[in-house]
Every structure is written in C-alpha cells, then in structure tokens.
Amino acid sequence: MHIRFWGTRGSLAKAGPTTLRYGGNTSCVEVSMADGALIIFDCGTGAHGLGQVLMASGKRPIDGHLLITHTHWDHIQGFPFFAPLFIPGNTWDIYAPGGLGNRLEETLAGQMEYTYFPVTLEQLGATIRFHDLVEGTFDLHGGRVTARYLNHPALALGYRLDVGGVSVVYATDHEPHTRDQSHAVDPNASPSRALEVHREEQGHMAFLSQADLVIHDAQYTAAEYPQKVGWGHSTVEYAVDVALAAQVKRLALFHHDPLRDDAAVDRLVDLGRQRVATRGGTLEVFAAAEGQVVELPEVGQSPARPVTHTAVDVEASATAHAAVTILIVDDEPDIVRLLQVTLRPEGFRLLAAHDGETALQMARTERPSLLLMDWQMPGRDGLEVCRALRAETDPQLRDMPVVLLTAQSKNEHVEAGFAAGVTDYLTKPFYPAYVRSRVREWLLRKRVETP
Ligand SMILES: [Zn+2]
Ligand SMILES: [Zn+2]
C-alpha cells in the first residue's frame, strides 16, 4: 500500500512561505493498493495536484474510488478541479455519509452551480457513481473498508482500509467525545479515564485498533482546546492517547490549523513524541506533510473482520423524515424550544415532555425513533426512565436510542449513564450543528441495526 499526502491543511487552504514544509492545501490523501486500485480520502484543494499527476501518467482509463468524510468545504473544494473527472472513459465511485434525504450528489452539485463554478456536475465527462454511506463495512477490490461516524458538527465518516495484512485509518474532523480534556495539559498525567468509560471513545479506539498508520485530526493542543470546544476537532494529546490505547504503529498528525506555521507544526510533533516517550510507548508520531509518501508493504491476506452490514447504498436511509419521531424531554422549556428550533427544519415529527413519568408514557405510546432526554428532572430522572425502557420486553422500546442531555461530563457521571443504558451524551451547552449531526447519526445507526 502506497500512501501519499496531497493536502494536509484543515479548514482553509493556506499557501505561502509559512507553510512550505507541511503544505497549504486542504485534505486529500492518495492510497494505491498493490493491485493498482486507487482510493482517495477526501477531495480538498490537494486533489488538484493529484489529478494533474494522474493525467500526466499516461495511464488510461483513470478510475478510482473517492471516499469523502463529509462535505465541509475543506474536504470537497478540489472536486471541481480534479481533472480525471472531466475525461470520458474514466469511472469514479464517490462515497460519503448519506441518509435522511441529504444526498451526496445534490451537495456536490451545489458547489458547482453557475453562481460558483462554470461547469456543472452533469457536464463532467467521466462516469460518476454516487454512494450514500452509513456506518459499516464493505469490500473494495482486494481490501475492506470500514466506515465509522466521527464526532463533528456535520455528519462525518472516518474510513479504515484493511488490505493485504496492512491497515490505514483516515479519521479527520473528529472531536473527543468527552469535553473535559484538562488532564491532557499536563504531559505526565495519565490519559483520561473517559477513554475507558465512554462507549463512543471505545468505539473510536476499536476503529483505530492496531492500525499500521492512523491519519488523525490534531488541529489543536489541549491548552487551546477550551476555546475550541464544539468546533469538531481533536487535540494532539487526544490523538496520541487514543493511538497509544489502540496500539497503533504510526500516527500522522493531520488537518493542520491554517494559523499554524511550519515551526508551530514541528512543536506539535515534539509535544506528541514527548507524550509517547513519557508512557514508554513505541508509537511513531509525525505530522503529515504535503508530498510525503508512506509505504506499507502488503504482506498477505486481510485479517478477517466481521462484516456488520453493508455500508453502501442504503437506500432505506433516504426515506422521508416525516416517518421519524423524536421525543424531547427536559424540564427547562428553553432547552425544549432550542432543540425544536434546531431539529424542525430537518422535517422530523417532534414531541415534547417535561418530566420523566410523562416521557416514559409517551415513549410507550408514540414509540419515537430517538429520545433526547435531560438527566435531572423532577420525579423520575433521565437515568430512571432509561433503566425502565431497557427493562421492557418489546425490542422497539428496549433498544430505543436514548441520548442524555447533561451539563455533567465527569467520568463518574458518564459511567453511571452508560450503566443505566444510555446510548450517548450531548453535553450542555450544546451547539445546534452538533445536535443535528448526533441526531442524524443515531437515527441512521438505529435504522441499519433494525432489519
Ligand atoms: Zn475539515
Ligand atoms: Zn469539517
């Protein structure tokens, strides 16, 4: 497996003398498999250079698979400038998180409307096949792709590629699931216990598990993080901690902040390496640099990883929103209103309750697809309602996703919530974009699990 970084910058392309070594182009990583298959992670401005090189190679046709994490600008702005898409005879499969009506093709066509760009999506010469993905696993040539939702204020997927006994994970635009990262400011402090108690952190580590290379969001430092909560990005310290815990071999710090010059990125690398050394780990840490190549020799068959379900083309996920009911439960009317205002444009059927007892009754009669519920309420609190639901015999109630709304992010609280059967947390104060992406994620996960 041959990996080449074409764009390593996050948020905004930053060309100029301060970013010469690590590069100024936004997210784009090329992966060539030993059998010649071409896979590209994200299509930021770095895709322009990759397209030029592919065109100059003389190889025809130029076919490939483009795996997009999400459609924020820094991950798709190179799409209209990726030359192989203009050539008849080429075939491109394009994958991105889909579902709930927000289709990939429409989104990509949106940035190519006449107002923004002279060529429309329909005018591209290549055969383009769009695939709306949900979390899951699918085969691609001789390899296997696993897609997993990341924690970001837009529905975003990370990708893991296992092929020929080697594995690379591309996990960018991801924020720690636990808001309190204060422990990480001290280089000698042990990693947060949140990595052990938060189910979503465990899921993230399983996704990274024993990978040969993890390309991970590391836009900020733990010291900067309190000012960046809710922006959807990781710290170097968190990236190192999860990579160590997941027994990863090499970690490429990625999605460099546009304000960070080359010397500042060097300091992030030092910070990460020190953290590994303090733990006595063997993890190799470097910062992804534009033009850099990593070779991972394919040595044999891919390890057998269970196919949970096919992640591709889940047409069911495009069914009307109107069918989806969400029950919002909070004794503070302002929170209920905020969630209603946030979720109403998505077209969901929204129900509200202001105490636990009513919530439980409504869950039984209305059978919502998702419960967004406050922890502390008069009478039955959120945990009691959750325990009651988990004790039901009807699987629709027993397995109903329950996302707990709480201002508490201490490990003891998180642990108590998961023990009560809570599916996930939304920490107050929350941001509308995060609410939307978490809700979409849980609805899509739920949908796939139910045959
Ligand atoms: Zn980004
Ligand atoms: Zn993003």
Residues 379-437: tens digit of each pLDDT: 899 999 999 999 999 999 999 999 999 888 788 888 999 999 999 999 888 889 999 99
Ligand 2 centroid–CA 367 distance in Å is 33
Kindly identify the ligand whose nearest atom is closest to the C-alpha of 255.
1
Please name the residue that has the structure tokens 């196919």: 307
Q: Which residue has the tokens 């329950």?
A: 402
Query: Measured between alpha carbons, how far is 180 from 298 in angstroms, rounded to an integer?
Result: 39
Checking if the pLDDT of 449 tops 90, the result is no
Q: Which ligand has its closest atom nearest to the C-alpha of 256?
A: 1
The string of pLDDT tens digits covering residues 119-137 is 999 999 999 999 999 999 9
Gap between the Cα atoms of 365 and 374, Å rounded:
20
CA of 283 to the centre of ligand 2 (A): 26
Given a cut of 50, is residue 283 above it in pLDDT? yes
Q: Is 224 exposed, middle or buried (0-12, 13-18, 19+ CB in 10 A)?
A: middle
Q: Which residue reads 């182009």 in tokens?
A: 25
CA 75 to centroid of ligand 1, rounded, Å: 6
* Chain position carrying tokens 């836009």: 219
Per-residue pLDDT, 428: 87
Cβ(84)–Cβ(114) under 8 Å?
no
Write the DSSP assignment of 108-144 as a string of letters: HHHTTSTTT-SS-GGG--SEEEEEEE-SEEEEETTEE
Tens digit of each residue's pLDDT (9 = 90 or more) over 68-98: 999 999 999 999 999 999 999 999 999 999 8
Which of 177-181, 232-236, 346-350, 438-442 is predicted with the least confidence, judged by mean pLDDT? 177-181
pLDDT tens-digit series, residues 203-247: 999 999 999 999 999 999 999 999 999 999 999 999 999 999 999
Distance 258 CA to ligand 1 centre (A): 11
Which DSSP string corresponds to 187-205? TTSPPPTHHHH-HHHHHHH
Tell me how far the alpha carbon of residue 231 lies from the centroid of ligand 1, in angstroms.
10
CA of 61 to the centre of ligand 1 (A): 30
The answer, yes or no, to whether residue 27 has pLDDT greater than 80, is yes
Distance 221 CA to ligand 1 centre (A): 16
Residue 79 parent element (H or E): none
78 Cα to the center of ligand 1, angstroms: 13
Ligand of minimum distance to the alpha carbon of 45: 1
Interval between CA 79 and ligand 1 midpoint (Å): 15
